[in-house]
Chains A and B, each alone.
Chain A
């Protein structure tokens, strides 16, 4: 929960396109979440 977001300057379209990142979200199923919960136990206790 934390990241640097660079503010792009006006007219800096070239720099913006060079930095652009494609995001692709995957929906977690109940089974995926259960696996993550069991591996997260060490952070929670």
Chain B
């Protein structure tokens, strides 16, 4: 996975927390700093069946309810996503049967965000909800970028690529684990649905 990755930022594990509730087993948090001195937090939620879900946000947006929906315009996307792939690779070293998943969060603009409002003129499909303007969940812009990067760097030799464009969801199913558990695809899909029900938030 890492052999053809052009670069990534050094990252460190901040903490690991066990979760005894439901399908969620462990929450791992990683942290890295970009060359522009922006600190990012990567949350890896480990579910049953060695399934790891990735999320990341800018550290200073920690308490913002739209932390996963904000567009920063720092132009560091590639480096951030490459680092996420490097983190996935580090997990794969420890857990050979790991499968991964992510969802492309819809972009949400708030009325106070004047710079983004200008851009909205080109985004006619966006929906106005109360004081915010939301991108539709289906095949959203983050998902398009994420799936491009993932399909480029993660080869089908080791993983089955599963997509749900309606919910902008992506699963990388570990083929080694699927050999042991032939119905893994169905089990992971069901678990995905159980745990990520309010996708359209």
Q: Give every chain B residue within 8 A of A2 (Cβ-Cβ).
A: 55-57, 67-69, 102-103, 105, 142
Residues of chain A at interface, number, CB under 8 A:
27
Q: Is the interface of B mostly helix, strand, loop or mixed?
A: mixed
Q: Is B73 an interface residue (CB 8 A)?
A: no
Q: Give every chain A residue within 8 A of B148 (Cβ-Cβ).
A: 36-37, 39-40, 43-44
CB distance from B116 to the nearest CB of A (A): 17
Q: Are B162 and A5 in contact (CB under 8 A)?
A: no
Docked CA distance A33–B146 (Å): 13
Residues of chain B at interface, number, CB under 8 A:
48
Name B62-85 residues within 8 Å CB distance of A. 65-69, 77-78, 81, 84
Docked CA distance A31–B69 (Å): 31
Q: Considering the complex, give the chain B residue whose CB is closest to the CB of A42.
A: B148
Q: Are A3 and B201 in contact (CB under 8 A)?
A: yes
Q: Are A40 and B105 in contact (CB under 8 A)?
A: no
Q: Are A26 and B164 in contact (CB under 8 A)?
A: yes
Which residues on A are within 8 Å of B, measured CB to CB?
1-6, 16, 19-28, 30, 32-33, 36-37, 39-41, 43-44
Supplied contacts A4-B105, A4-B198, A23-B193, 4 more A-B pairs, CB within 8 Å: A25-B163, A27-B161, A28-B162, A43-B152
Can you offer 30 A-B residue contacts whose CB atoms are under 8 A?
A1-B54, A1-B56, A1-B146, A2-B56, A2-B69, A2-B142, A3-B68, A3-B104, A4-B69, A4-B201, A5-B196, A6-B201, A19-B197, A19-B198, A20-B193, A20-B198, A21-B199, A23-B192, A23-B193, A25-B171, A27-B185, A28-B151, A30-B156, A36-B147, A37-B151, A40-B148, A43-B78, A43-B145, A43-B149, A44-B148
Closest 5 CB pairs of A and B: A40-B148, A2-B68, A25-B162, A36-B151, A28-B161
